[in-house]
Amino acid sequence: MLDNTPSPFADNVSPAPAASSGCSGGSGASMAASATTRSTTPFPIRIADPDALVTLNTQTRARMPGTQWKSLEEYESDPEFLARVQKEFAPGAEWWIDQASRREFLKTMGASLALAGLTGCTIRQPVEKIIPYVQIPENMIPGKAQFYATAMPLPGGAIGLLAESHEGRPTKIEGNPDHPTSLGATCTFSQASVLGLYDPHRLQVVHHHNRPAVWSEFTGALEGRLTLAQKNQGAGFALLTEEIISPTLQRQLRAFLQANPQAKWYQYAAWESSNATQAARQVFGAPVTARYHLPNADIIFSVGADFLAEGPSHVRLVREFSARRIVNADATANMNRLYVAETTPSQTGAKADHWLRLKPDDVAAMLIAVAAELGLDVGGEARTAKVKEAHQNWITALAGDLKAARGKSVVIVGAHMPSEIHALAHLVNQELGNIGQTVTLVDPINVVPDQTPGTISDLTQAMEAGQVQSLVILGGDPAFTAPANLKFGEKLKSVPFTAYYALQVDSTAQLVQWRLPATHYLEDWSDARAEDGSVSIIQPLIRPLYDGRSVHELLAILSGQKDVTGFNLVQETWLPGFGNDAKKLWEKALHDGVIANSAFQPATPAVKGEAAAALKQAFAEAPAESKEFTVVFRTDPSLLDGRYATNGWLQELPQPLSKLTWGNAAWIGYSTAKDLGLKSGDHINIQRGDVTVSIPVWIQFGQPSQVITLQMGHGRTVEGFKTVGVDVYPLRSAANEWVTTAQVKPTGKRTVLVTTQPHHNMEGRHLVRSGTLKEFQDKPNKPGFMTVGLHHGGGDEHEGGEHGAAEHGTEGHGAEQGGHAHDAAHGHEAVASKRDVTPHHGHPAVIPEGENQNPHYPEGGPTFYEDWPRVGNQWGMTINLGACTGCNACVVACQSENNIPVVGPEQVIRGREMHWLRIDSYFEGDPDTPDVYHQPVSCMHCEHAPCEPVCPVGATTHSSEGINEMTYNRCIGTRYCSNNCPYKVRRFNFLALNDPVWQLPVLQMAQNPNVTVRSRGVMEKCNYCVQRISAVRIQSKMENREIRDGEIRTACQSACSAGAITFGNVDDPDSAVRKAKEHPLNYGLLTDLNTRPRTSYLAAVRNPNPALVSTAAEDHA
Amino acid sequence: MTSHQHSSAVEHAPEPISPLDSPYRQSAETRAKITSVSDQISEIVLQPGLHMGWIAGFAISFMLVQMMFVSIAWLLIKGTGIWGVNIPIGWGFAIVNFVWWVGIGHAGTLISAILLLFRQTWRTSINRFAEAMTLFAVACAGIFPALHVGRPWYAYWLAPYPNAMAVWPQFRSPLLWDVFAISTYASVSLLFWYVGLIPDMAELRDRTKNRFVQIIFGIFSLGWRGSARHWKRYTDVYLLLAGVATPLVLSVHTIVSFDFAISQVPGWHTTIFPPYFVAGAIFSGFAMVLTIAIPLRSAYGLKAFLTDWHLDNMAKVMLASGLVVAYGYLLEHFVAFYSDHYAEKYMLINRMTGPYWWSYWMLMLCNIAIPQLLWSYRVRHNVYALFALSIVINIGMWLERFVIVVTSLHRDFVPSSWGMFYPTFWDWSLYIGTMGLFCMLLFIFIRVLPVITIFEMREQVHHEGDA
């Protein structure tokens, strides 16, 4: 049987959630379908007595020394096993040992067996017995996936999700269309959280000083401490938590602190910045949170805010932003305009219409200057002199735009910007009448009523003073993430009783007495607020894999409650408020994934009169000039603050812009690198006070000069995981959390950086097409930028294109750029000139206009071959480059859906990453201020696929529905297809990447049963999620109807918060994808090769301010 | 078994030397050395014992063969990933070496068949071992395509055999044409070589005193008795086989070149490839014949049969085919310029100035610049220079394939997917291992079969000796 035909097993597959995304153009028809697939009763039912299982296990252990429990202990203490575990890399990836000796091989074998043993005993897999259910769980049809609404707590707020479950095994995350933050889409973290559940590095059982223990031992020890503390109303007892967004936990904590008034609660998270809250207090007198609403925002000014990639609301903001970037086929549009002033080039900056990359102080100065221009009396002349000189036009134009869009504009400030800048933004938004329109203020979601947490500095002071007798830490790995100057780890050792509740054995766990295994959010009951305050009940998809307890149960233990389950605790929080209909409302909340009307109402605090005066005073001083490098700290786009360090999907996820995987590097600008004589991979020493960190550099085009950006979270030690990357936390101090200064010296050492895209120069090829709205409106049928660089474009169009290129903010000075580019082109990763300047690159030749051979492939040339017969649905896809922000959610979604293995850094260096879908980034223009383009590329499903005729065994073929399919079983692995693929989207299993050594047994639980796991030596690639197509086809046949447009959503499409991906039947004249293909901005990649791709792109359109176009050159001054 | 040279050798006055003359007539010294053709050639096979030099050479190549087997075993255990290939460079050393070996395998049949048809009698001295070389080179070449696939145990799916799945190979793929081309070429070459060996094996059968050797050669000489009827049939068959083999010489590398030319990779997609590959094959084949002939003739004292004029002739063929190859390079550049296609043009610029610039310029040096020395009579008649040149050309032809395969693939259409190829230890070990296999087979061949055609040489000596 061929792989590409659905197996009988796959025939039973239920449709994907088919939830309408709410993205523009999507039909709402499938909402009902999504609702029916969600069950109200979760399948995994928590046993009543959580201790029973532990007790049982303990007894088993005692009685049967020969059982696997013994092997666990044995292996836990066996140094050879520990050594082997230490070598283990990350989920799904292991350093591939080239010189593996026989001994090594045997060791590997032994350890695999041991791990298999561990799996067997600790993971409560569904027992495989071939008997039918006696009592079948509701809606359970074996082989049919079920979807449960749940939510994932993320920094700043939860995101609502639908988790796909196969026979009680969660395998895939989808967005929840009913959830205000998700709107049907997801972020990378939530997509990758499935792998986090099955992470083999998880802490499995309670440990007391490295020795496996059980919960009752801990509770026993704790009781003693608690009674001791209770004598003094809890004095000496301290809790350190991250921010708390779970109402139940807030309730529990409040109760605990009220019962023990002398006990202390401290809060710390590395990603968190208190600046915004501080500013809100200053301006409004209340710690309100600003929420932004972009549907009506015509002008957006981002001051160092990467709002399209960071923060709890970024999924929603991307959707709202992208909806306003769509241009209709008749060239009408209601486009917003985005101005970005920031330091580190970000995904938001890459989408900007006008983008300035400045030193942090100058970014702040830009807002002050704009505020002054708007007539706010905040002073700050000393600060703004520099930026005014360089960017006066920009400031004037922006201020003009903001004024004109009163009430329809928004100023967004990055969380890590200083509090006075946040305060100023509030004043500007107030001045512009935006508050209540595009900015709403809501109460913070992370507050425990009547309680104020201490900071981590307070805690270390208390520890130093000996005031802390017992300390319970709830996650966060503070020994790793705490500001280095606090020396948290050292002080932690002096506390008499310490317990750490976490998913992994990390730096903090190494230092405490008790390690308590946490539960993953997919394992246990909880609740969480989204950034707007709406509450989702987190319902578990599976019983805890290991001996973890939910955080609520831990708090219950602290409060002396026994035998309480997380489920009861969560219900206790909500059921009383639900009133008479409690059960019904509870079930509805579970089903919808959000408790109705739980969002906070916007607060309407008045601006304090003295706020402006206070700011004026703050801005009076000019910032100190420093000759040292400015060092900017950012959370990592994949690892956040390091919490996802062991997640192979995220480690191997190419970072936006740099495309670095497996490790971090210090970003430095092109000119700075040239001055210092550095190449990417050269090490520098960053010295700040007595701390020196040696780190390789990455030359990031667009990074301002003399500024270094460091991504936090790398280099985190987790037991069993081979540390990757460089820990930059030591450079961070409590006083300078986000920006500091340091000395930089090249060391002469070099390492190879692991990147998936070493070349970021488009080489004058017309791969990403982009232009301005004006150009499009001037020539709605054939805008110049669609043909620029093509042979038959004609002089007129050529001109148009050149003009267009120049119009876009940063492409101002052609000649100078050309020079730069040539210099750069000889370096490996070069940014060349803008398209066409490089003389030795020709232009893609295309078929003369008017020679449209085939209505479906407007760019197809003549051919000897007959067209494929078009029977049934003809699948096709469009990707709107104007909407895509390069966020990577689609890449992880694809990896999760299609069982794509993680290959590890060694293999990525060799160019063997397996992602079916990649996002290319190209930089154009001046290497110091380039434009950035993102282009998601996966199999194009060419009508004339170059891969098909060269396969000697016919393993890759054209399906009747137009999909270029891989028959894995038939593939012998000549790799000819990949060579002949001009898009290079085919991926080859160079090694046995799915063998147990690579993919530990527990990880296999994360795999989608409807997708073949590919063997070594086999080619693979995107197949438009053919399993999802089959599922919907089966469903439609059962219902005796046609497949509805939008009913099939590929994994990438459903993850995309920008709604950039449209998929459907291109032969259906009413389908969304057909409409997109008829759009004048639609184009195919490399169509001069006559490949006739089924996936096509919509050119990116920007909306620059006409006033700035003529003076674009000034942007670089 | 008469020999004529004894009586006539001394009486004749030295005749003017002409390059057109057959080797025998070139000098009295040469003639004097040819005591008995049969004695001298069969002596190499029939002498008892083994020379130290042979043992040493065999031992080294045997060890290399072991390395080859280890490399193959590790490949089968671990997978293609032990090599340096990746995406975008899906083909690496395996294909480079395959094409290189196939190219080398061209000279033998060309010498035997085409030169026979053109009645170039000087081929007699070299055709036997050139044919053997062909077979061994094709054997080495054949290892690579089978191993380079991701799942070598399914490589037989390339063959159109009836099977329960009712699946046929895909006849549009040049890789499938390769299977046919190479297997046909290998079998015809083997047949040709074997047929040519029959009279000689009968000669050895008659000469040996060892019963075992007698039986073996007796079996393989197929009852050859040297009757006039045998000779008649033999010459007919041999000529026919030559006729069959001749087009194959051209077809094999033409089809191998289709592996590249049919694709659309810039640097591969070129119509010049078939003739230019064939010329390259002849170029490298003759270089390899020289690489073997020069040490061989001094080791076994065969300078009388394999004279400087033979080397001279081969050098001239090399020069000519080398110029065709140079023309091919030139045309590649022209076509890239003339097509005005961005990818084609970039490909050439990148070859010259990209990260693999060294391979391109080394190639130009080895295949175009240095072989121009062959215009010089003195170079052609200096064995050391010729030997060095043949090695240079072998390297150059390997580089040519490296340039075509690797530098074309490493930067094609979409810059985001550009990559680099770094060969690993296992890439090298398998390559060097096949060289070991080649040498080992040659050593065995030298020891068990006559390296020069006895009967043809005798016939030639007979004709010319009496003139």
What pLDDT score was predicted for residue A73?
A: 39
Contacting residues of B for A763, CB less than 8 Å apart: 342, 346, 415
Are residues B150 and A974, on separate chains, in Cβ contact within 8 Å?
A: yes
Which amino acid would we find at residue A158? A
A974–B175 CB contact, under 8 Å: yes
d(CA B356, CA A594): 58
Return the closest-CA partner of residue B280 out of B246, B314, B325.
B325
Q: Is A515 on the interface with B (CB under 8 A)?
A: no
- Averaged over B47-57, what is the pLDDT? 85
Is pLDDT of B49 > 90?
A: no
pLDDT at site A399: 92
The whole-number pLDDT of residue A723 equals: 86
ipTM of the modeled complex: 0.89
Question: Cα-flanking dihedrals φ and ψ of residue A597, to 5°?
Answer: 55, 30
Give the DSSP per-residue string, A261-310: TT-EEEE--TT--SHHHHHHHHHHSS--EEEE--TT-SEEEEES--TTTS
Q: What value does the mean pLDDT of chain B take?
A: 85
Better-predicted residue by pLDDT, A549 or B121: A549
On whether any CB of chain A is under 8 Å from the CB of B227, the answer is: no
Q: Are B260 and B254 in contact (CB under 8 A)?
A: no
Record the tokens describing residue A347, joined without a space.
């995904």
Of B87, B150, B158, the CB nearest to A912: B87
Q: Mutate which of B414, B420, B422, B424 to disrupt the A interface (most A C-beta within 10 Å)?
A: B414
B423 touches chain A (CB under 8 A): no
- The residue ranking higher by pLDDT, B289 or A999, is B289
**Count of Cβ atoms closer than 10 Å to residue B333 Cβ:** 14
- The secondary element (H helix, E strand) that includes residue A536 is strand A535-538
pLDDT in tens, A354-401: 999 999 989 999 999 999 988 888 888 888 888 888 899 999 999 999
At residue B464, the pLDDT reads 63
B195 to chain A, closest Cα gap in Å: 34
Q: CB contact, 8 Å: A1070 with chain B?
A: no
Going by the DSSP 8-state scheme, the letter that residue A905 receives in this structure is H
Q: Which of residues 759-818 of A touch B (CB under 8 A)?
A: 759-765, 767, 791
> What is this structure's pTM?
0.84
Instruction: Please confirm whether the linkage preceding B88 is cis (ω < 30° from 0).
Output: yes
Provide the pLDDT for residue A249.
93
Which residue out of A106, A919, A976, A1092 would a mutagenesis test of the B interface target, given it has the greatest number of B Cβ atoms within 10 Å? A976
Among residues A149, A402, A427, A127, which one has the least CA distance to residue A284?
A: A427
**What are the CA-CA distances from residue B371 to residues A845, B96, B375 (Å)?**
38, 22, 8
Pick among A984, A989, A1089 to test the B interface (most B CBs inside 10 A): A984
pLDDT (0 to 100) of residue A888: 92
Give the nearest chain B residue to A98 (CA atoms).
Answer: B82
For residues B8 and B1, is the Cβ–Cβ distance under 8 A?
no
Identify the segments of chain A with pLDDT beneath 50: 1-77, 81-126, 790-855, 1111-1117
Which of A675, A760, A1110 has the alpha carbon at shortest distance from A930?
A: A760
Picking from A351, A344, A385, A384, the residue whose alpha carbon sits closest to that of residue A367 is A384
Could you give the CA distance from residue A79 to residue A75 in angstroms, rounded to a whole number? 8
State whether residue A230 sits within 8 Å of chain B by CB: no
Q: Is any Cβ of chain B less than 8 angstroms from the Cβ of A979?
A: yes
Q: Give helix A611-620 / helix A275-284 axis angle, nearest 10°.
A: 130
Decide if A973 and B149 are in contact by the 8 Å CB cutoff: yes
Condensed to tens digits (0 to 9), the pLDDT of residues A586-603 reads: 999 999 999 988 999 988
Nearest CB neighbour to A972, from listed B87, B155, B355: B155
What is the C-alpha separation between B75 and A833, in angstroms, rounded? 44
Give the distance, in angstroms, between the CA of residue A971 and the centroid of all CA atoms in the same chain: 34
Cite the DSSP H helix spans in A40-99: 50-63, 68-77, 79-87
> Across the A/B interface, how many CB contacts are shorter than 8 Å?
193
pLDDT at A230: 78
Mark yes or no for CB contact A980/B265 under 8 Å.
yes
Is the Cβ pair A757, B84 closer than 8 Å?
no
B414 shares contact with chain A (CB less than 8 Å): yes
What is the 8-class DSSP label of residue A65?
T
**What is the share, in percent, of chain B residues with pLDDT greater than 70?**
90
Out of B91, B175, B342, name the one closest to residue A952 (CB): B175
Q: Rounded to an integer, what distance in angstroms lies between the CA atom of residue A1017 and that of residue B150?
A: 4
Residue corresponding to tokens 């062909």: B134
| Three-state SS sequence of A92-146 | CECCCCCCCCHHHHHHHHHHHHHHHHHHHHHCCCCCCCCCCCCCCCCCCCCCCCE
